[in-house]
Amino acid sequence: MNHLTAARLGSRLVVLGLFVPVCGCSSPTTTPQPTETPIYQVKLSKTQTLHLARNVLLAYHFRILKEDASSGTLRTHPLSGAQFFEFWRRDGRGSFNVLESSLHTIQRTVEITLREQAPGTAFSCVVRAERLSVPGQGIESDSQAYRMLSDSSRSLQKLKLTPYQQRNMEWIDLGLDWGLSEHIAAEIIRKAGLQAVREERSLNQETQG
């Protein structure tokens, strides 16, 4: 990874000029932090719930890394955080998270674990966030930002990293994003409820018929 596109860099300069004055001193959303991972329940089979959860994650633009029906595990590839102009994205929960993703390189990974539990399936949803740290990449002025751009064309500008930066760049663990976890879990529960109702109606119609 010896180049980063400057699209994100350019958007960060825009955000600094436009978004920060609007948000002011934005702070993290006050989503209650659970003492242990919440467990949710739906009235669907394990296989049905896994398939439904997969579709929900795809709707959030996550790509599936692992899907194991036997162990009940669903894990995604890391997804770069939504920026302020990506209004169609659903993974940026709250103004602070959107601002942070616009100013830094943030990625999130989702892991959903399922198990059979009467009268259906129990599942957990955990979202882990990370921020990319590149030594010496701080931007304090517009002129400094432009000096960092190299190998540019009229359609694409690239940010070149020095060998030192490439060796020492790392992802810093930001902990768990419970706000997004709860939002994804709520979407799975909502869709599972609708599906359970449809199946019950279909069963009643067959019985009456």
More confident residue, 41 or 101: 41
* Position 19 pLDDT exceeds 70: no
Q: How confident is the model at residue 209 (pLDDT cuts 50, 70, 90)?
A: low
Distance of CA 78 to the CA centre of its chain: 8
Token output for 14: 């825009």
CATH 1.10.10.10 fits 36-141+169-198, yes or no: no
Distance CA 110, CA 127 (A): 4
* Position 71 pLDDT exceeds 50: yes
142, amino acid identity: D
Average pLDDT over residues 97-121: 80
More confident residue, 5 or 118: 118
Average pLDDT over residues 167-190: 91
Tell me the whole-structure pTM to 2 decimals. Answer: 0.68
More confident residue, 133 or 75: 75
More confident residue, 84 or 15: 84
Model confidence pLDDT, tens digit, residues 185-196:
999 999 999 998
Dihedral through CA 86, CA 87, CA 89, CA 90, nearest 10? 140
HSE of 14 in the Cβ direction (CA atoms, 13 Å)?
10
